[in-house]
Amino acid sequence: MTARLPAIALWALLLLALALSPVLGLLTPYAALLVILPLFVVTLIRRNAPAAYASYDARVLLGIFVLFAIICAITADSASDVLRALNFTMFLTYGAVALLFERQRIARPAELVARLAAIGVMLGLVEVGVSAVLVHASRPEALNLGPIVLSNALLALGFVSLGGVFVRRDRYGWLYLVPPLLAIVATVLTGSRGPLLAVPAAAIAAAIFIWHDRFRQSLRATLIGAAGLVVVLAGGIAAVLQGRAGSLLAIVGAVAEGNAVVDETVRQRLVLYRAGWQSFQQSPWVGHGWGNIMSSVKPFLADSDQWLLTWLPQLHNDVLNFAVASGIIGVAAYLAIITTPIVGALLGPRDSLRTFRLYGATVLTIVYVGGGLTDLMFGFEFHTYLFAMLTAILLHLCREPTK
């Protein structure tokens, strides 16, 4: 039984991150820690830390955890402020997870990842449908996951699942084009507009990878692929223009022309962005601390907007959150975090799964950058966990065995 524990841990982590995270929602990181923390302790006891933290991605995320722990200690007003560094626990334990994935080999890992991610998207869409039809929610969501957080997760899983076209070479491989479309449908149904900002860039990236991998040596196939992309984009635009998501274009136009934004939720974000920028200028190097993000912007909010502080725990923009919490150092750390999957994939082995890793790392980064434009993706448990897990899965599980 003891010999089976690593394999059990591997499957538990894969199922939690890829298939069950839309269902378990905010409970997912804590369920995963029941596996990850013992794994981390065993890694240290067996003196496997040098091997666990030998990769670029493991070292970067470990360094960022240490950096944020120091900043939290420096800027803390109370003991609870120091503990906010634990929101990045996945960065600390990342190396142990990566080492497990490297040493526990499974057959056709990339296709397995694509399948499990597709299951996760379908389960998330079912939840959205149940919430819309049975509960009659105005903005459908998961059991304990809000519509925006759920939408960003489904888009990440959906576009990662699309990578199955690079490992399944027969006609059935094209079925992996469906999960990202289902994720977009679920996002539109939830009325989430911010997550949709990442869709055009992710779709273009997917098209480029598919063309390079499948079509670049065939003019006919290129024309067919281009026509298919036009049809998909047209369908996507038509879906986006329906309901609440359709206001995106009007909002972008108003901001570009310098006109007042009528949409209240967008107006609130713009107010917070302006106040956050002013707060950042007060402490540009190390920031005000993760526990003081909202209190630091209070002096820069009009009396009529002070109520925002009572129910908004963050500034709804990743770069601004990092800037106010940790200053320029925090912004540099954010850039290091968000580029970790791509750099890690580029530095990885040149095997048959390299295209899958590069594609997955690219769309993962795009989805998290897009989601971070209007919401918090890093610094709270769920998406910090999901980003680290998907990165470890792509870079360390999805590779050919080495001697």
pLDDT digits (tens, 9 = 90+) for 267-308: 888 888 999 999 999 989 889 888 888 889 988 888 777 777
Of the CA atoms within 13 Å of residue 87, those in its CB half-sphere come to 19
Q: Taking the CA atoms of the chain, what radius of gyration do you get in angstroms?
A: 21
Does 290 reside within a domain?
no
Mean of pLDDT values over 139-149:
85
Q: Is the pLDDT of residue 173 over 60?
A: yes
Least reliable range by pLDDT among 10-14, 179-183, 211-215: 211-215
pLDDT of res. 279? 92
The span from the CA of 276 to the CA of 321, in Å, is 8
Model confidence at 143, in pLDDT bands (50, 70, 90)?
A: confident
Residue 273 in domain: no
Note whether residue 279 is domain-resident: no
pLDDT of 239: 54
Residues 81 and 214: their CA atoms lie apart, in Å, by 51
What string of DSSP letters covers 169-211?
-SGGGGGGGHHHHHHHHHHHHHT--GGGGGHHHHHHHHHHHHI
Q: Which of 7-11, 97-101, 231-235, 264-268 has the lowest mean pLDDT?
A: 231-235
- The residue-averaged pLDDT of 184-196 equals 90
Largest distance between two CA atoms of the chain: 66
Supply the range of the domain harboring residue 350. 2-248+315-397
- Burial grade of 158 (CB within 10 A; 0-12, 13-18, 19 or more): buried
Contact predicate 145/186, CB 8 Å = no
DSSP state of 402: -
Total domains present in the chain: 1
Q: Can you give the pLDDT at residue 223? A: 62
253 — pLDDT class (breaks 50, 70, 90): very low
pLDDT value, residue 230:
64
Question: What's the mean pLDDT in 59-70?
Answer: 95
Residue with tokens 């939720």: 265
Q: CB–CB of 392/97 below 8 Å? A: yes
Task: Supply the pLDDT for residue 326.
Answer: 92
Binned at pLDDT 50, 70 and 90, residue 255 comes out as very low
Mean pLDDT value across the chain: 87
What pLDDT shows up at residue 254? 42
pLDDT at 241: 54
Percent of the chain with pLDDT over 70: 86
DSSP H or E run through 218: none
Higher pLDDT, 33 or 233: 33
Does the residue 308 lie in any domain? no
284's tokens: 């540009």
User: For position 214, what pLDDT does the model report?
Assistant: 76
Q: Is the dihedral of CA 95, 91, 10, 342 positive or negative?
A: negative
Running DSSP on this structure, what letter comes out for residue 217?
Answer: T
Mean pLDDT calculated for residue range 158-163: 96
Which of 221-225, 255-259, 386-390 shows the highest mean pLDDT?
Answer: 386-390
pLDDT at 149: 94
Measured over the CA atoms of residue 380, residue 366, residue 195 and residue 212, the dihedral's sign is: negative
Contact 369, 311 (CB under 8 A): no
pLDDT reading at 398 higher than 60: yes
In a domain, 295, yes or no: no
Q: Is residue 106 part of a domain?
A: yes
Residue 310 lies in a domain: no
Q: What is the band of 76 on the pLDDT scale with cuts at 50, 70, 90? A: confident
More confident residue, 263 or 27: 27
Per-residue pLDDT tens for 365-384?
A: 999 999 999 999 998 899 99
Does pLDDT of 136 surpass 80? no
Residue 33 and residue 89 in contact, taking contact as beta carbons nearer than 8 Å: yes
pLDDT digits (tens, 9 = 90+) for 311-369: 678 888 999 999 999 999 999 999 999 999 999 999 999 999 999 999 999 999 999 99
pLDDT in the model for residue 268: 82
In degrees, rounded to 5, the angle at the alpha carbon of residue 77 between the alpha carbons of residues 74 and 78 is 105
Are 383 and 377 in contact by the 8 Å Cβ rule? The answer is yes
Over the stretch 192-244, which tens digit does the pLDDT of each residue have?
Answer: 888 999 999 999 999 899 988 877 656 565 566 566 666 656 655 555 555 54
Residue 210 neighbours by CB under 8 Å, 6+ apart: 165, 225
In a domain, 223, yes or no: yes
Note the pLDDT of residue 201: 93
Cα 397 to Cα 289: distance, rounded to the nearest angstrom: 35
Give residue 175's pLDDT.
Answer: 92
- Given phi > 0 = left and psi -120 to 50 = alpha, else beta, which region is 317? beta
pLDDT at res. 250: 46
- Of the ranges 8-17, 72-81, 226-235, 340-349, which one carries the lowest mean pLDDT score? 226-235
- The DSSP result for 250-317, as a single string, is HHHHHHHHTPPP--HHHHHHHHHHHHHHHHHHHSTTT-S-GGGHHHHHGGGS-GGGGGGGGT--S-S-
Which one, of 298, 300, 302, lies nearest residue 312 by Cα? 298
